Amino acid sequence: MNLHYDMSLIKVLMLLLILKLGSTDNNNLNTVIHNNEIIKHITVIIIIAVLISLLYKNMDITQIIFYSLIVYGLYILTIKIDKKYIVYVGLIITILYFIDYYNKRIIENTKLDKSLSSNEKYKLIKKYNKKNNMLLMTFILIVIGGSILYDDKQFIQHANNYSITKFIK
């Protein structure tokens, strides 16, 4: 039996493992993960790395690790925002996702457009890449600002028992 060349059994197994880790089933694996903070964080980083490798096939392992750590840091900051603002952050992420998607479609169409000169293509692509980068920076600033406000609130409420490690957990 020959496997289809696009089929990756490892990717399928990793996706199944990710789904299993995210499930609420009471099994030995989930018990180990949910009872150990370090294992929880490592698991999230692995999940992010697997998702990045599945979505972006042209990255090498060092890029995957680098971006996984950046996404992990943003994830930690995102979940450490005051609960009354988390819905807004989710809404902002959704809006930014679709704007980014739209801009990338325009970039791909620009690359394929034969009526534009190379210089015109370059300028348009640069313009939309700049827009995407500005959106990302806006989101990062919102998340950092929100997590700083949340951290400050936690520090005031729990001054005697406050620690940065509790903030990360």
What are the Cα distances from residue 6, in Å, to 13, 50, 53, 62?
A: 15, 17, 15, 24
Please check whether residue 110 is in contact with residue 116, taking contact to mean a CB–CB distance below 8 angstroms: yes
- List pLDDT tens digits, range 153-164: 777 777 777 666
3-state DSSP assignment of residue 12: helix
> Above 60 in pLDDT, residue 49?
yes
Please check whether residue 14 is in contact with residue 50, taking contact to mean a CB–CB distance below 8 angstroms: yes
Rounded Cα gap, residues 51 and 85, in angstroms: 26
- List pLDDT tens digits, range 101-150: 888 888 888 888 889 888 988 888 888 888 888 888 888 888 888 888 87
Please check whether residue 143 is in contact with residue 89, taking contact to mean a CB–CB distance below 8 angstroms: yes
* pLDDT score for 7: 45
* Closest to 127 measured CA to CA, from 110, 115, 139: 110
What are the Cα distances from residue 142, in Å, to 58, 77, 100, 135?
A: 30, 10, 17, 11
pTM of the shown model: 0.68
